[in-house]
Structure 1
Amino acid sequence: MEDTPNLARLFNTLDRGAVFELILIAATAFALAIAEQRALPWIANRLHGRYRHYLLAAVPPLRLAIVVVALTLMIPILIEPSLRNMATLLGAIGLALGFALKDYASSLIAGVVSAFEQPYRPGDWIRIDGHYGEVVHVGLRTVDIVTADDDRISIPHLKLWDSPVVNANNGSPILQCNAVLHVHPEHDGRRARAALEDVALTSPYLQFDAPVQVLSEEHEWGSLYRIRAYPLDPRQQFRFITDLTVRGRDALRRLGARPLMPTSSPQPPALRDGVVQPPPKE
């Protein structure tokens, strides 16, 4: 029974001035968060290269800083800032979050971690749980991506604890693309590689400062070529891959190399007692 008055004394008596001050702080923080969330992307979309990514990456930390400052100003108005009171309040909050909002709290904590470690930033192209797209918003609980099909997907930061995050460009305008071509094995491999390299070097989407590679793999069904190159802008990656694929296929046909589509994606050959086994019959 004695704990009830002590718990009641945690909170200050709020008069009209205190209530007005709380509302003013909350409204100002909300207005600042909305303003920076709209203004910085608007400015960043008018920039190019690294400056665009740097400005977009500043949105989540600034919003987090606004929230922290607002809470720092509001808590002393609500609670007498003594060590005992703060320990009691934080303990009660932690207990409530632990039982009622376990996953939500975990996502919030992961969101704070992501703001500092930055496994993804606005403008990055990431893959999480099989979803691939451009990061357009990093909130306190979720990260929003837009896929190539223009679908917006919200992924909770909770995935950071148990799922790998594949970041294709990691805060930079440099993103590698792979165009895959399947060819019948009866062809001149040296001429094919040279022709595919010319296709990449003549693409209007190519970033000339980055390297161009043409790699070859041999499989039971034929040859596989990969053109690895970098577009001028990560948002052009799908146009770039399409351009390399279409013109690469035409270039191989002019050399007499017949395009081939395997019945399944290339897999490493199965081994049994050290002997390569033939693929199973359909």
Structure 2
Amino acid sequence: MVDEAPGSAPERPVVVIGNFDGVHRGHVELLRTAREAEPGAPLVVVTFWPHPMSVVRPDQTPLLLAPLERRVELLREHGAADVVVVDFTPEVAGWSPERFVDEVVRPLNPRRVVVGENFHFGFRAAGNLATLTALGRRDAADGSGPGFAVTGVPLLTDGTQPSSSTLIRQAVAEGDLGRVRELSDHGFRFSGVVVKGDQRGREMGFPTANVSVPPGLAVPADGVYAGWVTRLDVPDAERWPAAISVGTNPTFDGLERRVESYVLDRDDLELYGVPIAVDFYARLRGQVKYAGMEALVVQMHADVEHARQLLHTT
């Protein structure tokens, strides 16, 4: 939170509410609008975990673009002084709009709340922008509190469609990393802890850092990509160029879906048990089942050179 002078009253923040999966351009526009509406006020972001659909309609829960830690990191990068995470439970899903404001919004004592113009909240999404505006005015009207202003922000579009987490998920699922960057202003990152694999990559001269794909998280379509690998346990760690494979390793009839990253020209890295980030840049090709290891090695040499050219690595 923002430091306060001794004895001073806390400055009332501007509060932005949303799910913020992937923190795309539309989300960034919400934060920018909030800062401009209340210059100098602390910016507090309210988000939800797990995804509300996992509670309300579990069969329609989308694959998430990022774990909660990455979401918070991106929100802070875009100016959030604090991020409040609401534990979205069946009880919370059953709150009326009035109770949602009483439990989540009023304790933050906002001077202004900023949401997307299509924002809905409360049981069965009964509350909308007009509801929130009325509730913000109620305290000031009855003298029970200062109340808060409400700003609704129009959806940001690319000229044809609103920027949305749904569109980004589709682009990720298709391996269209250029489209992901257009919609989000940053690339797609997948992170996890390096696990011990089959060690065939080392045998073939391409040792890989392997991360399992957990259920519930989005990952690019099976195939081979160019990108970067970064250790997350070392501050300001170097970003290494890499050739990245996503899939089950069909040449060897694998079953587990993994993200396997070969850091270009490095066979000295010991990363087992280390948390890493894999930043995808471009898709090189689809996943193919080769006749054997020899044919795969030939293709891997070609993939590495292709990745080197795309990443401008010498």
Higher helix share: 1
Q: Which has the higher contact order (CA 8 A, sep 6+)?
A: 2
Higher strand share: 2
- State which structure, 1 or 2, has the greater radius of gyration over its C-alpha atoms: 1
